[in-house]
Chains A and B, each alone.
Chain A
Amino acid sequence: MPQTMGMGAILKAHESEILRDWIARQLADTSLRELLNENEVNEQSRSFLALFSNAAQDSYDEELAGQHWDDVRAALSSLSKSRALAGFSPIETATFIFSLKNPIFSALRRAFASDAKRLNEETWLSSTVLDKLGLVTVEAYQRGREQVIERQQQELLDLSTPVIKLWDGIVAVPLIGTLDSERTQIVMENLLESIVQNEATVAIIDITGVPTVDTLVAQHLLKTVAAARMMGAECIISGIRPQIAQTIVHLGVDLGNVTTKSTLADALRIALARCDLAVGALRPAPAGA
């Protein structure tokens, strides 16, 4: 079919001038200049156009099926992903593929200058193909961003649940941020593990950094306390702010036989007392002071 051969042949014949035009267009966009490096653009465009041309030799229709088109899509995906990580916006990323339209259309115009109907058909087909590739870019970009978010979530989770050894036999876990089931699970596991490691008899859970306490959070806290108690460690909950105390009472949550203190310092004093320890001044205060 001469029609399917058209695009492949045109790309092959005019590859270098399409490439030059395309690169010029990408670099002309001033808003991208800070992020783009000329050599990088040259290299990316050259390798992509080579793959594109290669795929177009095989088949060129709206399906974009076949091994060569898979390669094109894979290359485009990895490019979009790397741009997503480098901080490009979706528009800036998609511009890569959409700026190819103009050079290709001008090549088509030159090739089919005498045949208006054919020119129209080829332009339409190329437009569809490039749009599809554009969608691939956007999807890959989105996926790249999602991976970034997932990784950050994991890092946040790791960062936010440290267990601190305060004294021999006393561990503390300062909770910061909202408690959900997943985080509670991790906090609970970390706390119990460190109770075993440090042979702790008292564990302090400090909730100063927890913005709100609802029934679910309270339930999670009680679960942690119960689990620690079964292992033979006593739990103290500290950092209960006035609003949170009110909320807990209004919600009707029974913190029952859990020791609660308003500050970590108070909790530490209690914990030391449970271990038959005390902290005092080295010298007695001068008389009259």
Chain B
Amino acid sequence: MEQIPILSLGEFLLVTIQVELHDQLAMRLQEDLTQKLARTHAKGVLIDISALEIVDSFIGRSLAHIASIARIMDSATVLVGMRPAVAITLVELGMTLKGIRTALNVDKGMQLLREATGR
């Protein structure tokens, strides 16, 4: 079964979604990330969705859930590289991902994470 790699980078976790995210894959990512967070005690999670072209309400909600779970586990989450079409779709679906940090690219996302965790 396919799986989205979760890389450990210093005190942060790096998740790059390079394939189309379908429902099962999103559930799996949520599960894996939670496990990894518990194991590594990472201070921040960076999720790169620049390759994600299609979202529906379920994927949108999964992203929001993943961010909320990470926050509860004491880890800041930054969502980076959202495409314009994806942003428009999510807004039209009524989801604005309130409370999730966002950044334009991985570079700016890392900077934001460092600021958020005070390092």
Residue numbers of A with Cβ under 8 A of B are 185, 188-189, 192-193, 195-196, 199-201, 223, 226-233
Contact = CB atoms under 8 A, between A and B. Distances in A.
Contacts of A199: 104-105, 108
A201 B102 CA distance: 10
B102 A227 contact: no
Interface string B72-106: 00000001111110011011100011000011110
A140 B88 CA distance: 40
Contact of A189 (B84, B92, B104): B84
The 7 closest A-B pairs by CB, nearest first: A192-B84, A232-B103, A227-B87, A226-B96, A232-B102, A232-B104, A227-B91
- Chain A binding site: helix, strand, loop or mixed by DSSP? helix
A65 B105 CA distance: 66
Nearest to B87: A227
A192 B105 contact: no
Interface residues of B, number: 19
B80 A189 contact: no
A192 B83 CA distance: 8
Q: Which of A189, A195, A226 has the most CB of B within 10 A?
A: A226
A86 to B, nearest CB: 42
B104 A229 contact: no
Interface string B6-49: 00000000000000000000000000000000000000000000
Contact of B97 (A185, A192, A195, A230): A230
A201 B97 contact: no
Contacts of B87: 192, 227-228, 230-231
Contacts of B92: 223
Contact of B88 (A196, A201, A227, A232): A227
Contacts of B105: 199, 232
Given A188-B88, A201-B108, 19 more contacts: A189-B84, A189-B88, A192-B84, A192-B87, A192-B88, A195-B104, A199-B105, A227-B91, A228-B87, A229-B96, A230-B87, A230-B90, A230-B102, A231-B83, A231-B104, A232-B82, A232-B102, A232-B105, A233-B104
